[in-house]
Amino acid sequence: MGRKVVLATCVLNQWAMDFTGNLERIRQSIKQAKEKGARFRVGPELEITGYGCSDHFLESDTTLHSWQVLAALLKDPICEDIVCDLGMPVMHKDVVYNCRVTFLNKKILLVRPKMAMCDDGNYRETRWFMAWAKERIVEDHYLPRMITDITGQHTVPFGDGVLALKDTCIGSETCEELWMPGSPHIPQGLDGVEIFTNASGSYHELRKLRTAYTLVESASMKSGGVYMYANMRGCDGERVYYSGGGCIALNGEIVAMGNQFHLAEVDIRTYRNKIRSRSHAAARADVYPRIVVDFALSGPQDVSLPVCEPLEPQFLNPEEEISLGPACWLWDYLRRSGQSGFFLPLSGGIDSCSVAMIVHSMCRIVVSSIEAGDQQVLTDVRKIVADAAYTPTDPRELCSRILHTAYLGTVNSSEETKKRAEVIADSAGASHRSVLIDGAIEAILVIFTATSGFVRPKFRVNGGENRENLALQNIQARLRMVISYFFAQLILWAKGRPSGLLVLGTSNVDESLRGYFTKYDCSSADINPIGGISKTDLKRFLGYCGKAFNVPIIEGLLIAPPTAELEPLSNGLVTQTDEEDMGMTYAELSDFGRLRKIAGCGPYSMFCKLVHTWSDKYSPTEVAGKVKHFFRTYAINRHKMTTLTPAYHAERYSPDDNRFDHRQFLYNTKWTWQFDAIDQQLPELEKAYNKRPNKPELGCDVSRVEDTRSKV
């Protein structure tokens, strides 16, 4: 016999430690779920506090305020006649657990602690929470008095139990548990659980959603029944963007799916259909403690309800993800920071143009959300532009109020990049200016020569040595940062508008890894939307923007070799290109990045891998040279990672020292032991390599390549 039920899974844009706002968004989600007829509502992991509270989870204030928010919800008439499953930290016998709290009509039914913690990547759950290790055991939890006053309960069940309602059985697993080989949904399914909830705090990485959905589908296929996935969405105060994308799967097929990137603060997906009663409890299954609940998810109103059909999940490609993820993150950061827009130094190169396009994309999303009737977005945009009557209708016009760009050039900058910056700014709709900074550079040179009595430093093309050449490049680059901050503070003042601008950083993940930038140049900023994205993905993204946003000039940008343009032109031509300067291509740099961070390779094991994967391009000696060159530059530049601008996390190999990639920053840059290990392998490998048929004729003397802009 089947019973139709309506279930709701929520995606909420929570903000770490914003208890007031978080409570309001939870209330909204419950209200909307009920309006859609749902009798069961699941929200994201740790939704009461926000997921990213980090060391605030060690403070007793955080658990206290969580109970206060829960108390407010228990008392709220909005929560009547719906089973609510919420996430919050709970201290049980002096230990803090990451919990699901389920309640119905002023009674707490079950507190279910998470049983597997996540510690990879940006996650550090074991730093704040203990994993509950007692499988299928439920204990008494003594409630705080403020809760007892509302529910009349002194203790509630705490532990690994499931809820037995009149018409079905509900079990939950949190986040990480879904990814484990022995996920709880398997034994729960065998023991008759029909509805599985997965409340998650899962952040965006390019190409990740498909994996999560595959897990959801396979979980509901293996165990049968309904699998409900809820997630956080937005920048909850951190460098990651929780990616939303809540969904519901039934017997292996996705039947409801939420948006991955969106500005709506509350996004509800409901599912209505029959649940087949299955024969309970496979013969030898372990029995879960059941919390019996006198409530049915199906009700008399169900007869008239339409049912949900399976749907084909649509996944975004990485270019689309870049146009949406960082854009939504910027929006959350901007509206929550209280600033009035962005300042972007626009050089006309791939990185800064990508950032301009991301801000443009943000303006498109804002306009379309307002057209779709999102009042919150309208309120926020009016506050940002300080115009209470404003309703944006054109993304470029909105961009002209929010995005302020400047080409910070010298007499030696090429006309081509200057022109390109203008056209890109115009296509994005930014308010743009071209500025000559020679006066500032000259002022520094005058100070130096006057006090040192030395001659003026010269560029290499004019006979200067490496130190002079580097210093002259660095001072240009660094002054751009100083000038950017000055403009960011005063542009709106000059226009008679209140507030200031956030400075946007524009260095990509590969350059950071290699350290190919000047410390405290335009890589130093307030936030950086592309700091976690590889050059390769940025190029694809720009190609996509060229078509999607109709910006033909991007074609030209993509063929132009990337250059910092810090050395003077020779006969009007660029003398410097990034890949030559770096001594490696961006594609090679991505290979290094992945092997170093994801595969955890040091010099020797990286060499051992690349000697095979690059054997069609390079001989073992050449590979050895490349690997050593990479590790040398990585080591001498690692100190730059300690001051890296907070960036949107997007690739699994980010070198962000502050939160993601914990490694030292003062190295013995000679790596003597490690490089010797490589050298010992070379003679044998070379012999084998030279015996191969069709040996490619490729030469690359990396030892020749100078590290032009490294340690400053």
Ligand X SMILES: *[C@@H]1O[C@H](CO)[C@@H](O)[C@H](O)[C@H]1NC(C)=O
Contact positions toward ligand X, by CB under 6 A?
Answer: 175-176, 178, 198, 200, 202, 212, 215-216, 229, 410-412, 438, 441, 459, 461-462, 568
**10, 29, 53, 114: the active-site residue:** 114
**How deeply is 107 buried, as exposed, middle or buried, from its count of CB atoms within 10 A (0-12, 13-18, 19+)?**
middle
Residue 347 designated active-site: yes
> What are the contacts of 248-251 at 24+ separation with CB within 8 A?
248/7, 248/9, 248/308, 249/216, 249/217, 249/219, 249/220, 250/220, 250/225, 250/226, 250/308, 250/310, 251/220, 251/221, 251/224, 251/225
H/E stretch holding 234: strand 226-234
Pairing of strands 226-234, 195-200: parallel
**84, 99, 118, 175: the active-site residue:** 175
- Nearest to ligand X by Cβ — which residue? 175
**4, 34, 45, 99: the active-site residue:** 45
Residue nearer to ligand X on the CB measure, 72 or 441: 441
Residue nearer to ligand X on the CB measure, 466 or 613: 466
Look-up: residue for tokens 């007031």? 20
Residue nearer to ligand X on the CB measure, 414 or 577: 414
| Residue from 532, 488, 486 nearest 506 by CA | 532
| Residue from 296, 307, 274 nearest 3 by CA | 274
Residues 6+ apart with CB under 8 A from 370: 377, 378, 381, 391, 392
**In angstroms, what is the minimal distance from the CB of 176 to ligand X?**
5
**183, 223, 323, 347: the active-site residue:** 347
Residue 79 designated active-site: no
Cβ atoms of 201 and 175 within 8 Å: the answer is yes
Neighbours of 281 (CB within 10 A): 13
**In angstroms, what is the minimal distance from the CB of 218 to ligand X?**
9
> What is the rounded distance in angstroms from the CA atom of residue 557 to the CA atom of residue 539?
9
Residue nearer to ligand X on the CB measure, 178 or 527: 178
Sheet holding 342-345, edge to edge: 431-436, 403-409, 342-345, 502-503
**In angstroms, what is the minimal distance from the CB of 179 to ligand X?**
6
Neighbours of 669 (CB within 10 A): 15
Residue nearer to ligand X on the CB measure, 270 or 590: 270
Residue nearer to ligand X on the CB measure, 465 or 684: 465
**In angstroms, what is the minimal distance from the CB of 33 to ligand X?**
20
**In angstroms, what is the minimal distance from the CB of 441 to ligand X?**
5
**In angstroms, what is the minimal distance from the CB of 476 to ligand X?**
6
**In angstroms, what is the minimal distance from the CB of 479 to ligand X?**
10
Token pair, residue 617, equals 């391009």
Residue nearer to ligand X on the CB measure, 257 or 365: 257
Cβ atoms of 558 and 535 within 8 Å: the answer is no
Token pair, residue 659, equals 């939160």
Q: Provide the annotated active-site residues.
A: 45, 114, 175, 347
